[in-house]
Amino acid sequence: MKVPFANLTRDEQETFFEGDSVEERIRKNVNDVMNRKNFILGDYVEKFEKTFAEYCGVKHCIGVSSGLSALELALIGIGVNEGQEVISVANTFNATIAAILKVGAKPILVDSSPSNYNINIDEVKSKITSKTRAIIPVHLYGQIVEMDKLKESVGDIPIIEDACQSHGAFYNGKRAGSFGVAGCFSFYPGKNLGAYGDGGAITTNDDKLAEFLRKTRNYGQSKKYCHDERPDNSRLDTIQAAVLIEKLKVLDQWNERRAENSHLYREMLEGIDEIKLPNERRKGEHVYHLFAIHAEKRDELEKDLEEKGIQVGKHYPIPIHLQPCFNDLGYKEGDFPITEKLSKEILSLPMFPSLKEEEIDYISNKIKEFYS
């Protein structure tokens, strides 16, 4: 059996809309964009922004060109600049840290929580200084950081959520992107809500911030050739919005299937002492962008599964503080032991909505065979 890490084609070809598949609905929208030749901003972007804001439970959504752009613009929007500090977590994709550096601020890293791989909230308070201007927690793998506890720890310091892996996730009845001054999303194709290329969004309840972001992403314009803000070109493409509108309609169903798949994995992998399954705080909150296990002999297991037709992933094998491009941050091996341990043990198993029970059974049996 061949089991891909993800299968966007299979996901999108399922029928949801009275005989139409997601893919068929997307094609109709894209053809409409092509026929009208309206490729920059326009109706589809406005419609998606309105719908996604309502979905997340916030007043505003501003579509941008990527998750990195979302983080960078959000930082600029709250006034972060050179000489200031932004606290984030060592266990993340490098875009989180790149955004901080792009605005001239200094990233201050903390280690991961041993229970759920997210930011270690207990360490955050000790890193706050007079230069601290913002906190960026990362809702890693699809599970939201304990935001009430984090807010209590940091007081009035603005929080920008890196929600790039947590589309639709809940915490205490609220969705990702609705807790901080801003929530930042990526719509990279492999995300729970993915476009057909790069794309991103910022969610916020702050009217002034939303107005600033809408201008800034579009060359700083309040109207054509009237530039109120320093310009940036970070617009969400109209075609990508046309794709996202249809996928958003089935996001909750897709997330439910991811959760069902995670519970099948838990049943089938139970009792294997050499692996540790991901922690789930409460059923129905985690959206499982990834199903990441701790695995003894991780690299050997990865090779064995790949040889048996099972695609897996490692997130992330080289921690942020040990990446060559971040050498000048001044961190060294041993500074973040939990993150470093995760980098050597985490293995992400196939996870996507249309993953079949027999495929999960096959994967689980091959893992059992490896350790036996």
For residue 121, pLDDT over 80 is answered with yes
Q: Which CATH superfamily is domain 251-371 in?
A: Aspartate Aminotransferase, domain 1 (3.90.1150.10)
CATH of 8-246, one of 3.30.360.10, 3.40.640.10, 3.90.25.10, 3.30.413.10: 3.40.640.10
Cα–Cα distance, 57 to 46 (Å, whole number) = 17
Q: What mean pLDDT value characterizes the chain?
A: 96
pLDDT band of residue 62 (cuts 50, 70, 90) is very high
Cα–Cα distance, 258 to 290 (Å, whole number) = 9
Query: Which helix (H) or strand (E) covers residue 182, if one does?
Result: strand 182-186
Instruction: Give the pLDDT confidence score for residue 227 in this predicted structure.
Output: 77
Length reported for the chain = 372
pLDDT in tens, 324-335: 999 999 999 999
Q: Does residue 66 or residue 281 have the better pLDDT?
A: 66
For residue 157, pLDDT over 80 is answered with yes
109 within 8 A of 320, measured Cβ to Cβ = yes
Asked which of 34-43, 75-84, 200-209 is least confident by mean pLDDT, the reply is 34-43
Q: Does residue 318 or residue 114 have the better pLDDT?
A: 318
For residue 360, pLDDT over 90 is answered with yes
pLDDT in tens, 268-287: 999 999 999 999 888 779 99
Closest CA to 165 of 174, 176, 155, 157: 176
CA dihedral 118, 124, 128, 133 (to 10 degrees): 20
Rounded average pLDDT over 345-364? 98
For residue 219, pLDDT over 90 is answered with no
Q: What percentage of residues in the chain have a pLDDT greater than 70?
A: 100
Query: Three-state DSSP class for 85?
Result: strand
DSSP string, 304-323: HHHHTTB--B-S-SS-GGGS
pLDDT band of residue 353 (cuts 50, 70, 90) is very high
pLDDT in tens, 165-209: 999 999 999 999 999 999 999 999 999 999 999 999 999 999 999
Q: Where are the domains of the chain?
A: 8-246, 251-371
Model confidence, pTM: 0.96
Rounded average pLDDT over 138-166? 97
What are 101's two structure tokens? 């550096």
Closest CA to 136 of 100, 101, 84: 100
